[in-house]
Amino acid sequence: MSRLYVARSPRVAARSLDGEMMIMSGRDSTLFTLNRTATILWQAADGITPLDEIVRLRICAEFDVEPAAALADAEQLSRDLASHEILQVSDKPIPQPGAPSGEAP
Amino acid sequence: MSGLLEEMTAKALKLNIPLSVQLDLTYRCNERCVHCYLDHEDHGEMSAAEIKGLLNEMAEAGVFILTLSGGEIFLRKDFFEILEYARRKLTFCVKLKTNAILIRETEAARIRDLGVESVQISIYSHRPEVHDAITLVPGSLQRSLDAARFLKSQGLRVILANVLMAQNFQDYPSLRALAAEMGLESTIDPTITPMMDGDRSVLNLGIHRDALRQVFRDSSLVGNVEEFCAVAPEADENSLEALPCSASHTTCYVSPYGDVFPCVQFPLPTGNVRKQRFIDIWRHSKQMNEVRSIRLKDLTTCPSCTHVSQCSRCPGLAYLEGNMRGPSSQDCERSFAKTGIPSANMLAKRPSAGNLVQIRLHSSSACAPAPGAIA
């Protein structure tokens, strides 16, 4: 199975509010909030690190979850976010110059 | 406001986070609108480097919605450098306010590429002879509308913002129709802001009471007229504990010179970002905290007013009248136009019977103002 790469869409607005990520879609100004796990995934979505590595290094390291189940959930979440155009998903790396994470500089 | 944004705003309020800031990049302008409250001379605008530093501080403070306004923002040669920094590096939700006359196809495409949330354009009429007589720039309506089309063709959200004055009042239905035809949103606002130096003569440009009454009875604007114009329910203890508005609570304003105010319409100086960190002004300014401490029950005239529980009272306009805890006459007029019932402030300003006696030596009760009338 090929690896998935995820990258934050450059057209969204994002800001962390008390650990919860607020994201406004660049397509239709819909506002989303991400829970803690989804926020970790969002912040790690640099287009270079494969999703399975993000899950292994960031999610499984912090939460007590089965890696296979966590990866399946992460893939589903990534595709959901991609359907709202707030995340890009590809089977190839997605290089992004200085991709911002919504965290303060 | 969407449910989620409301929820985020409540969270920001609880955490004392300035969720939304308006930053004016310049007071210079290429129009000379008759009702404008600004001094268009440049008295030392912040440089791009200073603004980027400020934007870093704002992002760190948790600001999410950043409105870039002026003056005319496109008069700054470094405007796109600032916008790109705000969007690409700091991921603010950026809204622009502009007259748009410098926006052509190239600028519209760049605004779209940078993921701007919306562009609000000031338009006062669908007729050039009316709009251009307000901006004092011949051809400005055509250029602004062309820009609106360029922006719309890029898929951007465009809002035509109209300030209602005696001069353009009759045109608002046609302007709204034009906006709808172009696929744009539109807003109207009868508020005229006094000049920043306190000069209130521009208020004479505002619409007459009867016109305001007519606006508030236009169901295409207000929805259910009966509901919109209903007398406010009696205020209880809870409603008197309410915050007057979001200024200093989740929003504030920064001038091109770095001065921080509770709101663009509330010019109470609270600090300057050239001397202090933005977050320190937000959290610790004595003035910011004073505004923050005011509840409806603390106001001077309003708590006893019939309209208090539903009044749109603007504390900034009240401040410009001389007392931030006092009433705002423009909002009293609004409540009166809606309901026909004078506000406590209007009643207090009525000539008293005593005065009438002094002026008219043989006054009778027939000389007293009729119930419901105003002075």
Residue A101 lies in a domain: no
Residue A1 has pLDDT above 70, yes or no: no
Report for A59-63, B82-86, B298-302: range of highest mean pLDDT? B82-86
- Quote the pLDDT of residue A62: 87
Residue A28 lies in a domain: yes
Please answer yes or no on whether A14 and B118 come within 8 Å at the CB atom: no
Lookup result for tokens 């423009």:
B330
Residue B236's pLDDT band, with cuts at 50, 70 and 90, is confident
For the residues B333-342, what does the mean pLDDT come to?
94
For the residues B5-23, what does the mean pLDDT come to?
95
Q: Tell me which residue in A26, A29, A105 faces B90 most closely, judged by beta carbons.
A: A105
Count of alpha carbons within 13 Å of B245, Cβ hemisphere only? 18
Residue A44 lies in a domain: yes
Q: Tell me which residue in A13, A17, A33 faces B91 most closely, judged by beta carbons.
A: A13
B167: closest CA of chain A, how far (Å) = 34
- Quote the pLDDT of residue A100: 61
Residue A99 lies in a domain: no
CA distances from B266 to A24, B193, B288 (A): 28, 10, 11
Of A98-102, B4-8, B141-145, minimum mean pLDDT range? A98-102
For the residues B238-261, what does the mean pLDDT come to?
93
Residues B63, A15 contacting (CB under 8 angstroms): yes
Which helix (H) or strand (E) segment holds residue B96: the answer is: strand B93-98
Residue A95 lies in a domain: no
Residue B374 has pLDDT above 50, yes or no: no
Of B14-18, B170-174, B195-199, minimum mean pLDDT range? B195-199
Residue B190 has pLDDT above 60, yes or no: yes
- Identify the closest residue of chain A to B3 by CA–CA distance: A31
Residues B339, B216: Cα–Cα separation, whole Å: 10
* CA geometry: angle A87, A93, A98, nearest 5 deg: 70
For the residues B109-114, what does the mean pLDDT come to?
96
Report for B94-98, B193-197, B294-298: range of highest mean pLDDT? B94-98
For the residues B24-39, what does the mean pLDDT come to?
96
Residue B305 has pLDDT above 90, yes or no: yes
Residue A105's pLDDT band, with cuts at 50, 70 and 90, is low
Residue A96 lies in a domain: no
- For chain B, the C-alpha Rg in angstroms (whole number) is 22
Residue B93 has pLDDT above 70, yes or no: yes
Residue B164 has pLDDT above 90, yes or no: yes
Q: Note whether ipTM > 0.90 here.
A: no
pTM: 0.90
**Helices marked H in chain B — which ranges?**
3-15, 48-61, 79-84, 105-113, 128-135, 140-153, 172-181, 209-216, 219-222, 225-228, 237-240, 278-284, 286-293, 315-320, 329-339, 344-349, 353-359
Mean pLDDT score across all residues of chain B? 91
- Quote the pLDDT of residue A101: 63
Does A33 contact chain B (CB < 8 Å)? yes
Of A55-69, B130-144, B162-176, minimum mean pLDDT range? A55-69
A62: closest CA of chain B, how far (Å) = 25
Closest of A70, A37, A38 to residue A53, by C-alpha: A70
- Quote the pLDDT of residue B152: 98
Please answer yes or no on whether A31 and B115 come within 8 Å at the CB atom: no
- Give the residue numbers spanning the domain of A44: 5-87
Residue B361's pLDDT band, with cuts at 50, 70 and 90, is very low
B207 three-class SS: coil
Residue B117 has pLDDT above 90, yes or no: yes
- We report the CATH number of the domain holding residue A79 as 1.10.10
Residue B371 has pLDDT above 70, yes or no: no
- B5, B13, B60, B91: which to substitute to probe chain A, counting the most A Cβ within 10 Å? B91
- Quote the pLDDT of residue A26: 83
- Quote the pLDDT of residue B368: 35
Q: Which residues in chain A have their CB less than 8 angstroms from residue B60's CB?
A: 104-105
Reading the block at residue A57, the tokens are: 């290094």
Residue A65 lies in a domain: yes
Q: Tell me which residue in B4, B15, B89 faces A98 most closely, judged by beta carbons.
A: B89
Counting the structural domains of chain A, the total is: 1
Query: Which pLDDT tens digit goes with each residue over A10-54?
Result: 889 999 998 889 999 888 888 999 998 899 999 999 999 999 999
Of A63-77, B40-54, B58-72, minimum mean pLDDT range? A63-77
Please answer yes or no on whether A105 and B59 come within 8 Å at the CB atom: yes
- A31, A87, A88: which to substitute to probe chain B, counting the most B Cβ within 10 Å? A31
Residue A53 lies in a domain: yes
Residues B190, B206: Cα–Cα separation, whole Å: 7
- Quote the pLDDT of residue A102: 64
- Quote the pLDDT of residue A27: 82
